[in-house]
Amino acid sequence: MNEIVRNLIIVGAAIAAVVRPVSAQETFVDSLKSSAIIERKLMVPMRDGVRLATDVYRPNTEEPVPIIFSRTPYNFNSYRDGKLRTRSMRSAWQAVKRGYAYVVQNERGRFFSEGEWDILGPPTTDGYDALSWMAEQPWSNGKVGTLGCSSTAEWQMGVAALDHPAHAALVPMGFGAGVGRVGEFYEQGNWYRGGAQQMLFAAWLYGNQNNQRPMFPRDMSREDLIRVSRYFDLAPEMPRVDWPQALRHLPLVDIMKSVQGPKGIYEDMIKRTPDDPAWYEGGLYHDDMPFGVPSIWFMSWYDVSTGPNLALFNHVRNNATDPEIANNQFAVIAPTTHCGYFRTQNPTIVGERDLGDARFDYTGLIYDWFDYWLKGEKNGVTDRTPKVQYYTMGLNKWQSSSTWPPEGAEMVTYYLESGGKANSLSGDGRLTTNLPGPEDNADSFTYDPFDPVPSYGGNVCCTGNAIRGGSFDQREKETRHDILVYTTEPLETGVEVSGTIEITLYVSSDARDTDFTVKLLDVYPDGKAYNLDETIQRARYREGYDEKVLMEEGQVYELQVSPMSTSNYFAEGHSIRIEVSSSNFPRFTRNLNTGGNNWDETEGVVAHNSVHHSRSHLSQIRLPVVR
């Protein structure tokens, strides 16, 4: 083993468990090369014989060390053009200098890993088997912490449900694509919101579902794998796609074909309903599964699935059978876009909105956490760290609470009201805490699926160049008459809204099925209207996600819209606003209004939709106000 390491990969000055500080003349890559044992292209066998490509970076010491494990579908090959790429080694350097081994592994079917790839389709036993392999290495102390954001996080919950004895700590960041069903959320890994498909996966899978790849012979030596990885890493260079145009293609099932993308799981997933049995066969975590690992959950206000992520955090705290596990769940919620934690600067500008100084010592907290659970250091991190740390926008400060929503949050109901002309920013829509009168002044608008309301900013991820995430002034979009606008009077005192936002709409349509969208905004005294969160509800799923119930013209239906989440301080003189419409494209797929499958249709119908508000139709939004 030692001879292989010496001959194949690295040399270095032997030092003890951690590396010396990096000088001004020395990069972290040089430091890592000179102080770590690096083993590349280890082919780790799974129980079915499939081998997963794995790189190991560990301190040059004879003492066993704990492990930080990152499992990913992305390319982590360290070489390009014959040179080490610094970005792929930064995490390894951070870990090794603190006395950890850093192990990075490709999911099955990705790059040098064998087998067929399927987003969250590979068995959770792959994660379990990888943990077993790491725990058995002579240089391991038997404790492994998992770390990663987005696709390097989403698999962690399913493996945590298996409760591997070596899996000592969990740090998932931006992990929504791994959450299946939790409570009232049936997002199934960010595929759905309120029963409507989120379009991000069309763009994301275009670059990631390619199973048509060259592979090296199974008997190829590790020496040869390392050699050829210097100039051939199996990473395809996908042609650029104009996603704003590409996502308009119908039928939805043919989007990948229309951009000449690779064949793969997309064509199957687009056909699934929100409660399809196939969602429960892969690696998604669902709320009927156990959970056995202490965790710090990192989330973002402008990420794609903050609501389900917070629901999962609460679910584990309330339902883990081991009291130590239940008591050691912590959350950090930042005002960033997807996986933007370590890029936070002062000032923190998210989209167009200045959110003050939102910097946070993520690295310090993560390594204190790992030191406690993987090294056994009694550093008090579990005692001194609040259960929930969240950034309140508008107030522009970090706050803490022992619960989510925060202690003292009370639901305050705002009712929709108008004279029947809430269309656009120039309409008469109002939000008020007073009960509406008996008269139903319904607000009506026309929804044409071939002229949808365009997405502008928002809580998004991974849509290529189609949408830029974050907070933007929405006034230009609010000139459209297919957007209903409801606004409070300017607030006499400031109001903090932190928690889950609930929406009930009473709706009707002349279409068999349609969608209703809601967006929450902070309106400044000068009129700027910044989006906070957005949601959607497909009417056919108003009675549950396990069946389709179509609409009848002339009938008014109660619609419980999929909840939103935020923490925002509406300052004195500001107003609270919601927008209601039937599209937010390409954030969500367009409902073609036919009542059909939607994914296989090319023709749609125009829907004439109404929102009703009266004493008997209490359309409302319920805000968690922190007193």
> Following DSSP, what letter does each residue of 94-147 receive, concatenated?
HHHTTT-EEEEEEPTTSTTS-S---TT-S-THHHHHHHHHHHHSTTEEEEEEEE
d(CA 95, CA 102): 6
d(CA 122, CA 282): 7
pLDDT band, residue 85 (cuts 50/70/90): low
User: Rounded to the nearest 10 degrees, how much is the dihedral formed by the CA atoms of 378, 381, 384, 388?
Assistant: -160
What DSSP character marks residue 275? T
Tokens of 33: 């090369």
Phi-psi region of 41 (alpha: psi -120 to 50; beta: other; left: phi over 0): left
Non-local (6+) Cβ contacts of 213 within 8 A are 234, 236
Q: What angle do CA 129, 135, 137 make, to 5 degrees?
A: 110
Say whether pLDDT at 113 is over 90: yes
d(CA 470, CA 483): 20
Tokens of 17: 């468990």
Write down the pTM of the prediction.
0.93
d(CA 194, CA 534): 11
Amino acid, res. 532: L
Q: For the residues 448-452, what does the mean pLDDT come to?
A: 98
Say whether pLDDT at 11 is over 50: no
Q: For the residues 53-63, what does the mean pLDDT come to?
A: 95
Share of the chain above pLDDT 90, in %: 84
* Mean model confidence pLDDT for the chain: 92
Structure confidence at residue 390 (pLDDT):
98
Do 541 and 548 meet the contact criterion of CB atoms below 8 Å apart?
A: yes
d(CA 249, CA 243): 10
Tens digit of pLDDT for each residue in 547-604?
Answer: 999 999 999 999 999 999 999 999 999 999 999 999 999 999 999 999 999 999 999 9
Say whether pLDDT at 14 is over 80: no
Amino acid, res. 220: M
Say whether pLDDT at 434 is over 70: yes
d(CA 162, CA 142): 17
Say whether pLDDT at 429 is over 70: yes
d(CA 191, CA 154): 13
pLDDT band, residue 5 (cuts 50/70/90): very low
Non-local (6+) Cβ contacts of 447 within 8 A are 482, 514, 581, 582, 583, 593, 606, 607, 608, 609
pLDDT band, residue 167 (cuts 50/70/90): very high
Q: For the residues 315-325, what does the mean pLDDT come to?
A: 97
Structure confidence at residue 80 (pLDDT):
54
**Residue extent(s) of CATH 2.60.120.260 domains in the chain:** 409-626
Q: What angle do CA 271, 550, 594 make, to 5 degrees?
A: 60
Is CATH 3.40.50.1820 the right assignment for the domain spanning 2-185+283-401?
A: yes
Say whether pLDDT at 83 is over 60: no
Query: Quick one: fold of 409-626?
Result: Jelly Rolls (2.60.120)
Question: Do strands 83-84 and 79-80 pair parallel, antiparallel, or not at all (unpaired)?
Answer: antiparallel
Say whether pLDDT at 119 is over 90: no
pLDDT band, residue 20 (cuts 50/70/90): very low
d(CA 148, CA 75): 14
The 3-state DSSP class for residue 57 equals: strand
Structure confidence at residue 609 (pLDDT):
98
Non-local (6+) Cβ contacts of 272 within 8 A are 188, 191, 278, 279
pLDDT band, residue 10 (cuts 50/70/90): very low
Say whether pLDDT at 347 is over 60: yes
Say whether pLDDT at 89 is over 90: no
Q: Which of 23-32, 76-85, 234-243, 566-575 is most confident?
A: 566-575
Q: For the residues 246-269, what does the mean pLDDT come to?
A: 95
Question: Which residue stretches of 305-380 are H helix?
Answer: 306-319, 323-327, 362-370
* Positions of E strands within 236-302: 295-302
Element (H, E) at 156: helix 156-160
- Number of CB atoms found within 10 A of residue 501's CB: 22
**Residue extent(s) of CATH 3.40.50.1820 domains in the chain:** 2-185+283-401
The 3-state DSSP class for residue 88 equals: helix
Q: For the residues 138-155, what does the mean pLDDT come to?
A: 96
Tokens of 107: 């999911």
Least confident window among 114-118, 213-217, 347-351 = 213-217
Amino acid, res. 128: Y
Question: Do strands 79-80 and 484-487 pair parallel, antiparallel, or not at all (unpaired)?
Answer: unpaired
| Cβ burial, residue 228 (10 Å; 0-12/13-18/19+) | middle
Q: What is the largest CA-CA distance in the chain?
A: 85
Say whether pLDDT at 18 is over 60: no
Phi, then psi, of 90 in degrees rounded to 5:
-60, -45
d(CA 439, CA 416): 13
Say whether pLDDT at 1 is over 60: no
Tens digit of pLDDT for each residue in 498-524?
Answer: 999 999 999 999 999 999 999 999 999
* Positions of E strands within 418-571: 430-432, 443-447, 484-487, 495-509, 515-523, 529-538, 557-570
pLDDT band, residue 84 (cuts 50/70/90): low
What are residue 45's DSSP bridge partners?
51
Non-local (6+) Cβ contacts of 312 within 8 A are 157, 179, 182, 285, 287, 297
Whether cis (ω within 30° of 0) applies to the bond prior to 64 is no
Tens digit of pLDDT for each residue in 184-213?
Answer: 999 999 999 999 999 999 999 998 887 777
pLDDT band, residue 326 (cuts 50/70/90): very high
Do 517 and 453 meet the contact criterion of CB atoms below 8 Å apart?
A: yes
d(CA 160, CA 295): 10
Do 25 and 34 meet the contact criterion of CB atoms below 8 Å apart?
A: no
